[in-house]
Structure 1
Amino acid sequence: MGTQLHMHSHATLPFSPLNKTLISSPPLSFFSQRLQHNRAFGLAKNVNRDFKRRRDVGIVVASSSSNVALWESWKPEKGAKSPSLSDVVWPCVLASKGLFITIAPLGAVCAVLFATPSSPGARKYNMFMAQIGCAAIGVLAFSVFGPGWLARSAGLAAAIAFMILTGAVHPPAASLPILFIDVAKMQQLNFWYALFPGAAGCILLCLIQEVVMYLKNNFKF
């Protein structure tokens, strides 16, 4: 019996290392899960690397596009057609006829009405609302603060705020408060300054603008 047990134990010895290996080693599913994990992790790293690369490229593209947009504002507008000779002559000739009241803001009004007639600043509502309101603000600023830098700065700031609040943005009107504060002859008009010379001059310029537009559309050369 002892011999049989000894032989039985020796018979199982050649298999015991294999059995031990099979028992102590992880199952096959562990390796497959590990392989899938490594593949997924590698894919995640590749995706993350690709995302970072695209993000960096996007930052570069966005930065370059912002720089391009910044410099584009310093260049002439693309696609603008060259004006004909009549488009230049009619506004220049007739604009001078409307400047019998020679104040600086009306020169800017001429540029807006005749050079960019379709711009927001050339709208009649914007023009007259801003001209009357900003002129009145100049009178009030002078009455409260007197002549000096405080009246100029307060009048200009209030004029810009008025145009924004009323939706009547007309750039030439922003200079009306400063004109009233600095010119003694204008101060003699008091609140009549709200209507003359700014608003009265704009009425004349609007009439001349209609003539200019008619000539530009019907008498081209």
Structure 2
Amino acid sequence: MGLQQLGCSATSYQPNIYVLKPPKPVSSFNSHFCSRKSVISHVITSFGFLNSHLDGKRFRRKRELISIVASSSSSNVAAPFWDSWAPEKGSKAPLLSDIFWPSAGAFAAMALLGKIDQILAPKGISMTIAPLGAVCAVLFATPSSPGARKYNVFMAQIGCAAIGVLAFTVFGPGWLARSSALAAAIAFMISTRAVHPPAASLPLLFIDGAKLHHLNFWYAFFPGATGCILLCLIQEMVCYLKENYKF
């Protein structure tokens, strides 16, 4: 079949040819670069927002810290004059049982020590000494304070009493023995982390108490440390009664 029979000429026949053209390298690079540029700008913007947010938080934290320091410094300035002459802030009124049981424990302790004194009277020895009254106040009234720890009680009682005997042996009676013994007792309690305020009076009691001189270094264990054993036992009973019998 010829071309004339189909009703078309050779010159008018043009076949449909589809050619797949590759993408232009420049335009593809530009689009890729633009996409990467937008991502990078988005990341930079995000980091900028994050940095500004963190800077804002740091500024707020710094401002709060400055205000706290300022308030604490202002409160510390007023504390020595006003707060020390007023009850502790936020402290509640004690229950009747919180008053009764420590007082009853102190009465029982002094009664037992007095009974022991009657037994030891022929030997010229007494268990009722003034520092044990201060020990009762610490153990019964403030049982959770550092001075009421058993380690602090016995370490300070034994050490400070021995320091008093040593100071009296070296310096004899007088102001020099009292001063050096008290200074050494405080240094001993701080260095051993056994601060127990009533024990600081034991060296002074020995130096000024002629009836105790014959005990010599036995004074380190008697009557202070020995009396504290009895007081610690009574303290356990007082704490139990305070926790279980409230009124």
TM-score by length of 1: 0.70
Q: Which structure's residues are more often helix, by fraction?
A: 1
Q: Match for residue 197 of structure 2?
A: 171
1:73 has 2:84 as partner? yes
Give the counterpart of 2:228 among 184, 195, 202: 202
TM-score by length of 2: 0.63
Q: For structure 2, list consecutive stretches of 5 or more residues without a partner in the other structure.
A: 1-69, 114-126
Q: Match for residue 148 of structure 1?
A: 174
Q: Match for residue 91 of structure 1?
A: 102
Identity %: 75
Segments ≥4 residues shifted beyond 2 Å: 60-67
**SS of structure 2 residue aligned to 1:188:** helix
Q: Match for residue 59 of structure 2?
A: none
**SS of structure 2 residue aligned to 1:168:** coil
Question: How many residues align structurally?
Answer: 165
Quick one: which amino acid aligns to residue 101 of structure 2? W
Q: CA deviation at 1:186?
A: 1.1
Q: CA deviation at 1:74?
A: 2.4
User: Structure 1: how far apart are the matches of 2:130 and 2:214?
Assistant: 18
Q: Match for residue 143 of structure 2?
A: 117
Change beyond 3 A, Cα 1:91–1:181: same
Quick one: which amino acid aligns to residue 185 of structure 1? K
User: Structure 2: how far apart are the matches of 1:175 and 1:116?
Assistant: 19
Instruction: Answer whether contact 1:151 1:181 (CA < 8 A) is retained.
Output: yes
User: Structure 2: how far apart are the matches of 1:187 and 1:152?
Assistant: 15
Q: CA deviation at 1:62?
A: 7.6
For the aligned residues, what is the CA RMSD?
2.0
User: Structure 2: how far apart are the matches of 1:174 and 1:63?
Assistant: 33
User: Structure 2: how far apart are the matches of 1:125 and 1:80?
Assistant: 28
Mapping of residues 180-219 of structure 1, within 5 Å: 180-219=206-245
Q: Match for residue 50 of structure 2?
A: none
Quick one: which amino acid aligns to residue 120 of structure 1? P
User: Structure 2: how far apart are the matches of 1:62 and 1:169?
Assistant: 28
User: Structure 2: how far apart are the matches of 1:182 and 1:204?
Assistant: 25
Q: CA deviation at 1:73?
A: 2.4
Instruction: Answer whether contact 1:98 1:201 (CA < 8 A) is retained.
Output: no
Moved more, 64-73 or 183-192: 64-73
Q: CA deviation at 1:102?
A: 1.6
Q: CA deviation at 1:69?
A: 2.0
Q: CA deviation at 1:61?
A: 7.0
**SS of structure 2 residue aligned to 1:73:** helix
Instruction: Answer whether contact 1:131 1:194 (CA < 8 A) is retained.
Output: yes
**SS of structure 2 residue aligned to 1:93:** helix
